[in-house]
Amino acid sequence: IKTWLIIAFFITFITTLVYIYGKASGFALTYAGIALIISGIVSFLSYYFSDKIVLTMSRAREIAKKDYPELFRVVENLSIGAGLPMPKVYVIDDSAPIAFASGRDPRHASVTVTTGLLEKLNEAELEGVVSHELSHIGNYDIRVMSIVVVLVGVVTLLADFFTRSLWMGRGDHENRNVQGIFILFGLIFAI
């Protein structure tokens, strides 16, 4: 239910946001209609592919048991203990100690850790971090988190597009006072 509420809020928010941006430039309904279609498509894609998007953006690479046997064994053992299907395991070449889980449900989940985390933690600490990530998988937190990451990225791109479009001028339109109000609203939304 949370996931669908977030998606519905996102589609409504994006359509409203683009309507305000469009009102500031004189093309409100056209832009809002396009935004409704695009936000629906983005929502669908983020639901089914947000984990792959996040993993690609992070430059994570999937590993096999032979690549990092200790990590793989820890994930495998803790998954069995938690009654979860074995998630895919990814590693990111980065010195920062970071771990995260992604996916839309336990059958489509992954656990990702950085090489920095693997270098800095002993086995007991690694088990603690991995079990924390597996709890996100078991509680379906990963679905909400993955979708929100993609959707926030879209909002950020729209805000950037709007603020850049202000520098290009507003064109010749009849009612500049109304446009000025919507430009103010657009700036507030962009912030």
CA distance 120 to 103: 26
The whole-angstrom separation of Cα 151 and Cα 146 is 9
Chain segment 100-121, per-residue pLDDT in tens: 998 888 998 999 999 999 999 9
Residue 185 makes CB contacts below 8 A (sequence gap 6+) with: 20, 24
Residue in 181, 191, 106 with CA at minimum distance from that of residue 143: 106
pTM: 0.66
Q: Which of 119, 123, 133, 174 is catalytic?
A: 133
Q: Encode pLDDT of 33-50 as tens digits.
A: 887 888 788 778 777 887
Bridge-based pairing of strands 109-114 and 99-103 is antiparallel
Q: Is 133 a catalytic residue?
A: yes
Number of H helices and number of E strands within the chain? 7, 4
CA separation for the pair 125, 191 (Å, rounded): 39
